[in-house]
Structure 1
């Protein structure tokens, strides 16, 4: 029996000393680069002015290139028998056909003629029938409580005078969601089957999710025309990526034994995909469906700017008039619609399949009941108008209440609010803005690349450094620094509020139940709604934008903090308690450390929310990339809008990659991988 040789000194030196050497060299390089950046910032401007102000002669003319490419697509690109514009208009006609059918069914009725001379031949479904149908869907999918909830949400729309606008919005959702789900599912399956295809579309999905919607509204308008179809296309671009990602994730999560069983019984590749893997991943796929629905609802206001109409147009009109009451009512109507669709999709996702036995009328009882409601209310509506359309005399309104609340606050607390605004502006916002604008672009790019190398290696360093340099080289550096300043301050305040609230909620179940309702409501409220009270109380400017961004972006910091703390292994908590640790020590030394990766991901999501909201705040006078995108939209300047939008996307990708790499390193250090 041979005895293993003892490790030599050389082996021990190699195994134990190399990591410290590598770490020490990284620290040395990082220190040298940091010192060089500090010296450049302090003394370099007289010597190397180009490191602070990127020379115009060196700029990449991306605006002109994109503008020329768009003109070529519209005017010259063709496929032989038809032009590219004719192809996009053909696609628009395909999408428009089902939209018109759904809109006629639930909103306008079926018409003869066009425009103001159109005559209604068949009325739309009555409000009672629609409420009954969604109630029956809730009863079928989730039982009596869900039926009452979704029916109450739709009844709210009728009682508060939002029915017609809500049905226009619902028509867009009912067309956009099936297309988004089907397209996302097919592309997700393709990405699962062919890893090269997944690698190819991954950066495209990143851009689709991080580029501001305003940036691609102009090319969509040019290619698809003004109207609901263009709004549906914009909604699909915004809402489809999560479905693709979740499909890939869900199919990868199907156990290998299930796939092997399909091969053993002789299933073809197509049968394995559609009859085995997709049904096995149904629960995860329905999460993607839910995400498509919620993101489509988040788009309703922006889509209203290019002809979608509906509740989004009502909110946008109220914002332009500074009518907070009307805006809040339309916003709450979107929330009610979102809650109903969200709960229904979740219920259908978790519903277990049941065997179909018994007589035909028993197996289709819900369908028969729905058709009966439609027929009875259609006949009764011909005699009793209140059955067809909710009576205006019985409608409620809280618009005056919200307007009076804002007016009362302005009258009684104007000086206090103005003092708070000026204190934050003079002591935090303006100094931080001046600091960022005074930094040399070369030093910032170098530090970002260094952070990428430390956290994720050479590939991450090259990605981060390249994206940061492209922002500089396309002439967007100053606007990008203003965006980073507003986003950074907003995220800081959101985390200072959200993380402590999440810590308290994680320790108290009743408080978490209340907080969850609040943040669910915040996440379903349209982004434009946050601007109205902020503008009414503080007028336009950076402080107003910051408040709106904080209110919109605070939910992820709370939610992920609670998630991280609740996932801590109870055995570790018990072990710490058995060793005599106090409650504060358990929280700070055990729970928060183990929950740090989730908290970092929450900060990541807070940054993403903040960047998406910053483009909206261009309406209240901010001077950043969001303003560039909005100005490009008003001037129909495709190149200017896309370049500014890409700069926002690059900022989001840089933040996402660095924070994700930091979270992964933290998990590895804590042994959570």
Structure 2
């Protein structure tokens, strides 16, 4: 009898050995096999292309670019379609520039001088928000003038407003339709996913092919990049309206149009305004990057300063972008959150007082516009730029001081991370045979994601090979993976801390909100000062750019863990560390994989922008394509390779998040 029990126990142990190994074991085995194969095969079949070398595809794209340039004035498609769009967009952008920045219709000053812009902005901010928002708007705009960047700021604001206005003409109707139609919602969701996965750089090259370099291409690129948030949130707002409200309106005899205009849209108003807010922030970020295709504004100031390593001027321009972003964000956010009455319900004093202040600020706005149309001092911001000079000098001085006193620390950190992480991973990816890297990626996609994700990865990798930029793509992939790993580590540490402590959340969340309002360029400036133009600079800037969204996702995931489960673990004697590592993090693994997915997409976008400060690879190829006509085809192919990398990484991490959610 004892022997029988013993045999049964042995059979059970043998069966457990034959079970499918865990995901961690399989990933370790794949990576170990890769390292061994790399050691034996490194340097073979790497598909490396010299910096000045072009493939047949690149030359063909150059020829297409040249052919379009020479036949643009006679080709009917351009004369009657693309040129019509370009001229129309140019006129809209020119109107806003004439209104805010450029001399209008032969006038020596804009239609609204600086005093008029400040007065109207204060009035609108109070109308949609409150006195605090109005003071913030007025103070922020005046600060831009004191920086000596009024003209550049108004150019940026004009292009942002033009792009958002054009975008809203079709994004809100599309969002409404997506909210009403399940079929259209399913159809447009993958398109929006693709648009938001695509890094900002990628929009620029193909648009210049059809709309030339200048404000029109910049506005159209900004419009396309900024469109998805409004479509998504409008559809979400309409779909979130309770069915009972619709049934009540129908029972009263309301038509579909009446139900839409009297029930759905008013109820979803706050969500729609939030979408407009996100669209404006995305537009501002894109307008600054569009300086690469000759868009006027603050982006050009920052790019020129980065290229000359003038950290003081770059920081002053970056600070102006942040101030403008904060003003736009607070005003548009206030439009969606302000209550109809400032006083308690049931009293008339609050609404009457508000109407009085609104009337007074309206009168002041008209007076400010009249002054700006009458007196030169109110039309053109005074030539003083004391704040800007002070910011530039202090930044340059502080930079030099840090370099002199902390050079050993900054250089040591940069060299250590580069030697320990960046160089080994880059060597592993670039020196491995292309077919080996492909096999490893597909195997990992199946193990941590799904077979469908592996199929998408196979297609993307095949197309990257066809672009002729496999080697550069692997360099970019190495930077993306390292930055994403750092983002996830930071998100876990800070996210768990915030998720467990409401007080910490209250302190850190405003910092994260502020970080999400800053356009990508701004992150490059301080790290360029500290670490010079290197891959490490681009990676660290990408980590800070991508961290806020990942930290918020992890925080929400930790907070979603049942308090009862946490209390049960504590009651059994688990320490704080055991509760975190054995209960909260495992139960929030879906949030962790989702944070990795979102962080990765942000990192990819930022690492490419880092091509301006030494990241090289695909980002540099794209920028070089704007500068040199002979490299246009290579730059366009690099943009395609970036998109393919983004799609591949997005699909694998999304599949991993779904698997984690299913396991949970």
What is the TM-score normalised by the length of structure 1?
A: 0.83
Q: Kindly state the Cα deviation for residue 405 of structure 1 after the two structures are TM-superposed.
A: 0.3
Q: Kindly state the Cα deviation for residue 367 of structure 1 after the two structures are TM-superposed.
A: 6.6
1:584 partnered with 2:577? yes
The partner residue of 2:407 within 409, 414, 417 is 414
Equivalent position of 2:198 in the other structure: 211
Q: Kindly state the Cα deviation for residue 53 of structure 1 after the two structures are TM-superposed.
A: 4.9
Q: Are the counterparts in 2 of residues 33 and 446 from structure 1 also a CA contact under 8 Å?
A: no
Structure 1 range deviating more: 653-662 or 454-463: 454-463
Q: Which runs of 5+ in 1 are unaligned?
A: 1-19, 113-118
Q: Are the counterparts in 2 of residues 216 and 642 from structure 1 also a CA contact under 8 Å?
A: no
Q: Kindly state the Cα deviation for residue 402 of structure 1 after the two structures are TM-superposed.
A: 0.7
Matches within 5 A, 1:148-167: 148-167=135-154
Q: Kindly state the Cα deviation for residue 406 of structure 1 after the two structures are TM-superposed.
A: 0.4
Q: 1:462 to 1:333 in 2, by over 3 A?
A: same
Q: 1:38 to 1:157 in 2, by over 3 A?
A: closer
Q: 1:422 to 1:33 in 2, by over 3 A?
A: closer
Deviations along 1:581-623, one digit per CA (max 9) or x if unpaired, are 3333332233222333223222222211211112222123333
Q: 1:394 to 1:41 in 2, by over 3 A?
A: closer
Equivalent position of 1:336 in the other structure: 323
The partner residue of 2:661 within 663, 667, 671 is 667
SS across alignment from 2:604: helix
Q: 2: distance between equivalents of 1:452 and 1:306? A: 37
Matches within 5 A, 1:180-259: 180-192=167-179, 197-198=184-185, 200-259=187-246
Q: 1: distance between equivalents of 2:70 and 2:244? A: 54
Deviations along 1:331-350, one digit per CA (max 9) or x if unpaired, are 11111111111112122112
Q: 2: distance between equivalents of 1:25 and 1:552? A: 37
Q: 2: distance between equivalents of 1:529 and 1:613? A: 11
Q: Kindly state the Cα deviation for residue 246 of structure 1 after the two structures are TM-superposed.
A: 2.8
Q: Are the counterparts in 2 of residues 487 and 611 from structure 1 also a CA contact under 8 Å?
A: yes
The partner residue of 2:479 within 475, 483, 486 is 486
Q: Kindly state the Cα deviation for residue 541 of structure 1 after the two structures are TM-superposed.
A: 2.5
Matches within 5 A, 1:300-339: 300-339=287-326
Equivalent position of 1:131 in the other structure: 118
Q: 1:31 to 1:308 in 2, by over 3 A?
A: closer
Q: Kindly state the Cα deviation for residue 482 of structure 1 after the two structures are TM-superposed.
A: 0.6
Q: 1: distance between equivalents of 2:30 and 2:261? A: 54
Q: Which runs of 5+ in 2 are unaligned?
A: 1-15
Q: Are the counterparts in 1 of residues 483 and 603 from structure 2 also a CA contact under 8 Å?
A: yes
Matches within 5 A, 1:44-59: 45=41, 53=47
Equivalent position of 1:600 in the other structure: 593
Q: Are the counterparts in 2 of residues 377 and 388 from structure 1 also a CA contact under 8 Å?
A: no
Deviations along 1:470-514, one digit per CA (max 9) or x if unpaired, are 223432221111111111122223333343233333444444344
SS across alignment from 1:299: helix
Q: Are the counterparts in 2 of residues 215 and 641 from structure 1 also a CA contact under 8 Å?
A: no
Q: Are the counterparts in 1 of residues 112 and 373 from structure 2 also a CA contact under 8 Å?
A: no
How many residues are treated as equivalent by the alignment? Answer: 638
SS across alignment from 1:111: coil
SS across alignment from 1:398: helix
Q: Kindly state the Cα deviation for residue 74 of structure 1 after the two structures are TM-superposed.
A: 6.5
Q: Are the counterparts in 2 of residues 471 and 647 from structure 1 also a CA contact under 8 Å?
A: yes
Q: Kindly state the Cα deviation for residue 202 of structure 1 after the two structures are TM-superposed.
A: 4.4
Q: Kindly state the Cα deviation for residue 530 of structure 1 after the two structures are TM-superposed.
A: 3.0
Equivalent position of 1:641 in the other structure: 635
1:99 partnered with 2:86? no
1:41 partnered with 2:37? yes
Equivalent position of 1:655 in the other structure: 649
Equivalent position of 1:297 in the other structure: 284
Equivalent position of 1:13 in the other structure: none
Q: 2: distance between equivalents of 1:465 and 1:201? A: 24
Q: Kindly state the Cα deviation for residue 375 of structure 1 after the two structures are TM-superposed.
A: 3.4
Q: 2: distance between equivalents of 1:458 and 1:408? A: 54
Q: 1: distance between equivalents of 2:200 and 2:221? A: 7
Matches within 5 A, 1:541-620: 541-620=534-613
Q: 2: distance between equivalents of 1:552 and 1:602? A: 13
Q: Kindly state the Cα deviation for residue 281 of structure 1 after the two structures are TM-superposed.
A: 2.3
1:375 partnered with 2:366? yes
